Amino acid sequence: MDYAFSKFLRVALAVLFLALPARSADPESPPISAEELAARLSAVQQDGNSYVRLRMEIQQPSGSAKSALQVQIKSRRTKTSVDVVCQILWPKERKGEAVLLRKAKDQFAGGSIFVPPDSVRSLSAAQMTEPLFGSDLSYEDLVDAFFSWEHQTLAGSGEIDGTPCAILESKPGKTVRSPYSSVRTWVDTRRLLPLRIEKRLNSGQTARRIETINAATDDLGRKIPASMAVRGPQGTSVTMIDGSRIKHDVSYDEDQFTPKAIREITVPHSGSE
């Protein structure tokens, strides 16, 4: 990988729910409560319109040959709904493969999948745990909003690579529709940055672990994960994600988030235009 491309990949991913701000904590302030911590994370997660380009390197099982994808993600996030479009830009033989994901508050998520030249099929709530483009991320991971779930508690503290973290445990209330029974997040509270996320099923099994490898500063001046490792339930595979470009000053037409629109690869306009 040449220097220019390596530099191009360093600015971080905003998927969804992982773009978090850098804030310095007052050393004399009282410890933050679980509800306040979750509320801060949730507020930043609902960051309106965003556009991301990233590289995904998939190794299944771990130690086997790797495959790489370049992907663009368009997102629209509010307190009541999430709309996401993911499209493969490279390699050439997979260019144009796309998925549309939609989730409204207190409802199951769903969407559509497009495979060129003309195959479109619906994605049901029962299929939301399936892998995104063959990676260790599921469709649900791109639209769930666990920081806004009803039950938030502090489950202790720990360290990730020497960094002290508060462990936030999130559990859905009765009205929330999610395949996950709980999510634990190791948060560097000084920077409000998640360093590890573990998502668990009703059986107690860890369905997915997402770990921050490196952090960077996004276009809003916030510290966010620049590269991440995602592992599935058996830990036998790994997907490395490197964010390359993120923009929040973008605008979308309403029809951008429709099954018809995902047939074409387009780049959003700047919100200032």
Mean pLDDT of 251-270: 90
Q: Identify which has the larger pLDDT, 178 or 186.
A: 186
Q: Determine how many CB atoms are found less than 10 A away from the CB of residue 168.
A: 24
Helices vs. strands in the chain: H and E counts, helices first: 2, 15
pLDDT of residue 36: 96
pLDDT at 217 over 90: no
Asked whether residue 273 is domain-assigned, the answer is no
Asked whether residue 231 is domain-assigned, the answer is yes
Asked whether residue 272 is domain-assigned, the answer is no
Q: Is the peptide bond before 131 cis (omega within 30 degrees of 0)?
A: no
Asked whether residue 255 is domain-assigned, the answer is yes
Confidence band (pLDDT; 50, 70, 90) for 17?
very low
- What range does the domain containing 11 cover? 3-266
What sign has the CA pseudo-torsion 189, 192, 196, 197?
Answer: positive
For the chain, percent of residues with pLDDT exceeding 70: 87
The DSSP element (H or E) to which 197 belongs, if any, is strand 193-200
pLDDT at 235 over 90: no
Asked whether residue 180 is domain-assigned, the answer is yes
pLDDT of residue 225: 87
Q: What is the CATH number of the domain that holds 25?
A: 2.50.20.10
Asked whether residue 206 is domain-assigned, the answer is yes
Asked whether residue 271 is domain-assigned, the answer is no
pLDDT of residue 50: 92
Domain count, the chain: 1
Instruction: Please state whether beta strands 66-77 and 81-90 pair in parallel, antiparallel, or not at all (unpaired).
Output: antiparallel
Structure tokens at 112: 């559509």
pLDDT at 31 over 80: no
Give dist(CA 97, CA 108) in Å, integer.
Answer: 23
